[in-house]
A and B are shown apart, each in its own frame.
Chain A
C-alpha cells in the first residue's frame, strides 16, 4: 500500500488498470483464435490474462472492508475451497473427455458459467437495500437472472441431447409455441412486477420460470442443430456476464461478457450459414412435424439395400482411380480416424488418388472433423472442404461414406418438404459408386430417411466403422 501510495495513485486505480490489461488479453485471445497460426498463443494469452485478473481480485475492497456481520476470513476460506474444488473437477474432466464428446463438454462449461452469472445477480439482489434502489439496478439484476438461467438450463438439455441421455430428435407437443409464449410473457410480467416492488419472492419466480424457459426453448431443437444452439447459448452467457458487470460496476465483466455476446452471435450466424439454414429457421421451425411426415412417406418397405463383403469393396477401392472418403460422426464415435488414414495410405501406395470430403458440420460441430483428422496426422492437402470437394465428385470412382448420413442425404437438394432441405451437402450421389460404412439402417442425427442408401450405385458394409475400415485395409492390401 505504501509503495503504491508513493506512486500517488490508489490501489483501486491500479486494479482497474490491470483489469484493462486483462480485457485486452481477451480481445487478443479472440483475435488469435480466428487464425490457425495464432490460435494456441491466443488461448495461452487468455488463460494468463484470466489468472492475473483473478489474482488481482483478491485485493478487492469487498474482501476486506469491515462490514457488520461479515466474517471475511470465513468468506475467503469458502472462496478458496470452492476454487480448489472447481479446478480439481474441471482439469481432469477437460483433459480426459474424448475428443468426440467435446461439444457436450463445451455445453456444460457454458451452462455453469451462465449459472454463475445468474447467481451473482441473485446474490446482489439479496444485498440490495430495500426502498431506495434505482430501478435500473433491479433491471440489470433481473436481466442477468433471466439470461443466465436460460443459458444454464438450456445448456443442460443440450448436454443431455448430445450425450444421448435423452432423444436427439426434436421434442414437440401440442400447443408448444403457445406454451412457450405464455412462459415468456409470464417472465415479462413478473419482471415488471419485480421492478416495481423489488420483492425477493417475485425474483425467485422469475428465476424458476427462466429455468423452465431454457428447457422448453431447447426441447424442440433437433440434435443436428444443437451445436449451433450451444454457440447461441454461449453468446447468452456472455450477455449475462455483461449484465453482472453492470450490477457490480465492473468494466472487465462488461467488456469480456460483451465480447463473447457479440462474437458469439456472429459465430452462431456463421455456423447456421454453414448448414444452409437461417437462425430463426433452426430455432423455431416445426422441425418435428416435418420429420414424421417425411419418415412416413418414405417408408422403407419394398426397397432393397445391397450389402457387400469387405473383399468386394476392397477390390472396388483398390482398382479405382480416385476415392473420396466422406467422414461423419460415426467415424468419430468409433475413434476410426487413424484407421481411415491407414486405408488412405494403403490406397495411395497403389497409386489411387485419395481425398477427404469434409462437410462443414461433419462430426457434431463445425470444424470438429478437421480436428479429429488432424489428430490422426492426415496430410493437410488431402482435406477438402465441401466447396472444393463437390466439383470433384462426378469424376470420383468411389465415395466411401464412413459414419455419415445427413451430410450426404440428397433429400437436402431434392425434397422440398424435408427438414434438411436447403442444407448444402457433399454430392456423394454424383460419384460412380457409393460405399456406406454404417452400423445399421438407422437414420442419422436429423432423424430422417436417406434415399441414397437404396440407390443402385450404393453398396453397404454394416458394422462398427473402425472394424469395417480395418477389414477394408487388409482387403485392399491383398487385392
Chain B
C-alpha cells in the first residue's frame, strides 16, 4: 500500500513542478483570465464526487455526495463559461482581426451582448 502512496506522491511532486513552470511568463492582462481558467480546472473534482456518490449508501453519504456533485458541477461548468466570456473580450484585438472571414461575424453581437 505504501508503494501506491509513493507513486501518488511522485505524481504530486512532478505535477507541482509542471504547474509552476507552465505559467512562468504571463502578461498581467491575462492574470484574471488565468485565475479564472485554473479555477475551472480544479472543477474536475466533479470526477471525484461522482466516484464518491457512485457507491454511497445511507442517507448521510447520499446527501453529502449529491451536494458534492452539485457544487463541483457549478465549479466546473461555471468556471469554464466565465473564463470563455472574459476571453471573448480579447477577440477584437487588431492582431486577431486580421484572420479573414471570422471577424465581421464575431463583431456584430458583441458590444451589446458583452456589456450586460
Interface residues of A (CB under 8 A from B): 22, 26-27, 29-31, 33-37, 39-40, 42-44, 46-47, 50, 53-54, 57-58, 60, 62-63, 65, 67, 69-72, 74-76, 78-79, 81-83, 85-87, 89-91, 93-99, 102-103, 105-106, 108-110, 112-113, 115-117, 119-120, 122-124, 126-127, 134, 136, 230-231, 234, 237-238, 241-242, 244-246, 248-267, 270-271, 274, 335, 338, 360, 365-368, 370-372, 374-377, 379-380, 385
- Pairs of residues from A and B, 7 with the lowest C-beta to C-beta distance, nearest first: A86-B73, A262-B19, A113-B75, A90-B78, A119-B68, A62-B54, A94-B81
Number of B residues, CB within 8 Å of A? 90
Q: Are B15 and A95 in contact (CB under 8 A)?
A: no
Interface residues in B54-79 by Cβ distance below 8 A to A read 54-58, 60-62, 64-79
Q: Are B15 and A262 in contact (CB under 8 A)?
A: yes
Q: How far is the CA of A11 from the CA of B28 in the complex (A)?
A: 44
Known: A50-B76, A90-B78. A253 touches B87 (CB 8 A): no
Can you list 14 residue pairs at the A/B interface with Cβ under 8 Å? A36-B27, A36-B90, A39-B90, A57-B50, A82-B73, A95-B85, A115-B71, A116-B48, A120-B68, A246-B8, A248-B52, A260-B41, A262-B15, A262-B19
How many residue pairs link A and B with beta carbons under 8 A? The number is 392
Q: Are B23 and A251 in contact (CB under 8 A)?
A: no
Q: How far is the CA of A258 from the CA of B63 in the complex (A)?
A: 28
12 A-B pairs besides A117-B42, A248-B48 with CB distance below 8 A are: A34-B26, A36-B95, A57-B50, A72-B55, A75-B53, A83-B70, A91-B77, A120-B68, A230-B35, A252-B47, A261-B16, A371-B33
Q: How far is the CA of A244 from the CA of B45 in the complex (A)?
A: 8
Q: Are A116 and B37 in contact (CB under 8 A)?
A: no
Chain B residues near A376: list those with CB within 8 A: 111
Known: A67-B57, A116-B68. A102 touches B86 (CB 8 A): yes
Known: A47-B80, A57-B47. A259 touches B68 (CB 8 A): no
Known: A62-B51, A259-B22. A93 touches B44 (CB 8 A): no
Q: Which residue from A96, A274, A371 sits with its C-beta under 8 Å from B86?
A: A371
Q: Are B46 and A106 in contact (CB under 8 A)?
A: no
Q: Are A30 and B37 in contact (CB under 8 A)?
A: yes
Q: Are B51 and A22 in contact (CB under 8 A)?
A: no
User: Shortest CB–CB separation between residue B23 and chain A, in angstroms?
Assistant: 5
User: Shortest CB–CB separation between residue B69 and chain A, in angstroms?
Assistant: 4
